[in-house]
């Protein structure tokens, strides 16, 4: 790993000049955010102004880091702790892997907070983000959740027509179940609400922009035209084409 290439805080990397033993939240929140996101690397021994200063006792600090992760993170994410030598300085490189058991909470100081990365910062997850993390950890997708409308209250003529065109046969009730549109009890899922002729999902929208040329020139207003569609997924596919 080329440490010098990582200098400069980004979404996937963060740095600390030293291990703040008495303030574990200052760096444990980064671990929570990395585990709740795409993973990331936390480097100890680099200051905020990107100076490599190293650690006086990296081995002892690494033991403290491992212990504090056990105490302050729930559940404990997968990580790898290693040392790196740069310009004669010893650094600790903590690589945190993206987790499947989200949310990963920081539980120190009598609080329980799930953090996420926003740019180069680790911030508390908002209500919607936390809900998504809970569903991810429970292996539940938005598509599979029950819709707030009944199956018999919607029509699926566009979906049936598309199915017939592709399969050469009519769509049966069993097909609706096998595709996850309704469950065995006949309850409509969000997937079904999204595929209905007039989708009741208000966020089922599509934004299209036509640009002047083949690229979006930075800083220039070169959009020729734009349009917004609100409809079911089958109709949105036809409209975008």
Q: Which CATH superfamily is domain 3-137 in?
A: Schlafen, AAA domain (3.30.950.30)
The residue with tokens 């299209």 is 208
pLDDT at 211 over 90: no
pLDDT at 165 over 70: yes
Percent of the chain having pLDDT more than 70? 93
pLDDT at 60 over 60: yes
Q: Where are the domains of the chain?
A: 3-137, 151-240
Contact (Cβ atoms closer than 8 angstroms) between residue 28 and residue 96 = no
Give the pLDDT band of residue 141 (cuts 50, 70, 90).
confident
pTM of the model: 0.70
What local confidence, expressed as pLDDT, does residue 189 receive? 93
pLDDT per residue over 177-193, tens digit each? 888 899 878 889 999 99
8-state DSSP, 220: -
Sign for the CA dihedral angle at 99, 100, 103, 104 comes to negative
Calculate the average pLDDT of the chain.
90
Over residues 82-98, mean pLDDT = 95
């Amino acid at each position: 790993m080329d440490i010098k290439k990582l200098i400069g805080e980004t979404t996937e990397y963060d740095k600390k000049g030293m291990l703040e033993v008495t303030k574990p939240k200052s760096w444990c929140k980064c671990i929570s955010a990395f585990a709740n996101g795409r993973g990331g690397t936390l480097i100890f021994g680099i200051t905020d102004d990107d100076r490599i200063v190293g650690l006086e006792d990296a081995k002892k600090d690494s033991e403290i880091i491992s212990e504090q992760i056990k105490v302050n993170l729930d559940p404990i994410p997968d990580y790898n702790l290693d040392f790196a030598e740069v310009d004669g300085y010893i650094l600790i490189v903590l690589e945190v892997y993206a987790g499947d058991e989200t949310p990963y909470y920081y539980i120190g100081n009598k609080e329980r907070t799930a953090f996420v990365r926003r740019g180069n910062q680790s911030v508390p997850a908002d209500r919607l983000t936390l809900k998504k993390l809970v569903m991810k950890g429970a292996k539940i997708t938005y598509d599979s959740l029950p819709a707030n409308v009944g199956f018999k209250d919607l029509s699926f003529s566009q979906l049936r027509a598309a199915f017939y065109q592709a399969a050469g046969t009519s769509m049966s009730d069993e097909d609706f179940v096998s595709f996850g549109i309704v469950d065995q009890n006949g309850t409509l899922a969000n997937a079904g609400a999204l595929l209905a002729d007039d989708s009741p999902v208000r966020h089922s929208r599509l934004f299209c922009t036509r640009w002047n040329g083949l690229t979006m020139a930075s800083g220039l207003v070169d959009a020729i035209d734009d349009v917004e569609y609100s409809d079911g997924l089958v109709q949105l596919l036809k409209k975008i084409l």
